[in-house]
Structure 1
Amino acid sequence: MPALTTIAFDADDTLWHNERFFRLTQDRFAELLAGYAPRDHLEDRLLAAERRNLGRYGFGIKGFTLSMIETALDVTGDKVPAQVIREIVGAGQEMLDHPIELLPHAREAVARLAADHHILLITKGDLLDQERKLAQSGLGDLFDGVEIVSDKTAAVYAAIFARHGHLPEATMMIGNSLKSDVLPVLALGGWGVHVPHDLTWALEHEEPPASHARFRSLDDLGALGDLVASVESGCG
C-alpha cells in the first residue's frame, strides 16, 4: 500500500458554514411567495428548478438566485411583482457578501496535517465566490493547491490527482457530502472521510458506503489528525 501523501479537503460546510445561508434565504423566499404557493410546494418547485438548472448555471449562489426567480415566475404565472424579484436579487447579493465562519477545529486540522502531507482544497461552485471565501477564511496559506471545479466526479478527481503527481490510492478526501466528496474518491481507490454537517443540500444526499474498507466517518474535524495517523500506521 502506498504511503498516504495527499490530504484533500472540501470547503463549504466542511471547513466553513455555507448551507445555513441558503436555508435562511429559502425561508425569506417562502415568505415573499406565501400568497402564491404553500411552502412545501414552493420548496419542491425550487428544488426541481435547481436540479434542472445545474447543467446551465452550475453550483453556487448565482444559480440558486436564478432558480428562485424562475420558480417565482412559475408559481405566479409570470405575475410576480417586480418588488419581489428585486428582493430575491438582493437576497442573493447578501449571500455573496456573508462573512466566513470556520467550523470547529478546521484550522487546527488543516495545519496539523500540512506539516507532513501535500494539502489540497477541492471545492465546486462559482469561481469568484469560492475565491472570496477562501481569502476571508485565513486558511489559504495552508494549502499546496486549490482546485475550484464545476462538479466533483471520479474523472475530475483523477485529473486533479494526476496534475499534482499523486496516486489516488495515496490520497484521502475529507468532506461533508457523500455524493461529491467521498464516493468519487473511493471509486478511484482512495480514502474517503465523511464529516457530516447538520445541514446538507437535498441533491447531495447518498447512503454511506459503510462496508467499504477505505470509508471513514467523523463527528467533526477534531479527530482527523488521529485518524490519519491510525490509517498510516495500518491500524485505522
Structure 2
Amino acid sequence: MEKENLSSLQVYFSSDYGKFRFLHGNRDLNTAKVNRIAESVQNGLDLFRYCPIMVNKDGYIIDGQHRFAACRELKMKVFYVIVPDFTLRQIAEMNQNASKWKDKDYVNCYIDTGNIHYVTLREFTDKYQLNLGIAVSLLMEGKVKGIRRIDIMRDGLFKATFLDSATKFMEVARQFRDHFESYRSRNFLQALEILTASKEFNLTEFIDKLNLHSLKIENRQSHKEYLTHMEDLYNYRNSKRKRIY
C-alpha cells in the first residue's frame, strides 16, 4: 500500500455553540434530518470527529449545519475546519442546494457581515418595493438600466454611490402611483428617466393634467412606447402638440 501522507489541515472542536453562525440563503434546517443524525449518534454511530463541519473565518457554517444542530441538541463538541478564503459567492456555488440562493439571500448574507451598503440596498428596495436589479442599477450607477450589476452585488462589491439621486428619482416616480399601477416597472422608469432629463418636460404640469382629467397611464411593451404614450397624455386637449423628449 502506498505510504499515507499527513495533512496539515487543522481540525478544531468547541462546545461554544454561539461562535457558529448560520448563513441566510443556505439550505433550511430540516428538523427530521437533525433528529435522524442525533438518533444515529445515540445508537452508537458518532462520526462527528471524522466529518467536521466547514466554517469560514467569521464562524459562518459553510457545510454541515445539520451536524452542527445535532451536536448542539446532544450537547456534544462541534468538530470543525476553517476555510478562510471562501467568499459568500463561492459558498453558494459549492452548496448542493445553491439553486435555492436568491439575490435577496446574497443581500442578507452581506448584511450579516456588517456591510452597510447592503443595508442601504435592502432599505431602499423595501421602501420603494423595487425589483432588486433596478435598485442595484439606480444605487450603483444612478440610472435605471446600466451595465449588468447583479454579479457585482453577489460578489460583495456593491456600493450605494448614488443614494441621493436614486431617492429623488423614486420620489418623482411615486407621484404616478395613482395614475399607473406598474409605475415601478423597468420600462416605465426608463421612460420617466428620459423625460425628467428633458428641458421640454414639466413634471408638475403633467401630474396636474392627469389629475384634472382623471387620465390613466396604460401598460406598454417598451420604454419608447411609454414615451409616445405619455407625450400623448401630456398633449391631451392641447391646441398645439408639444414635444417633451
Task: Using structure 1 for the length normalisation, give the TM-score.
Answer: 0.26
- Structure of larger gyration radius: 2
Task: Using structure 2 for the length normalisation, give the TM-score.
Answer: 0.25
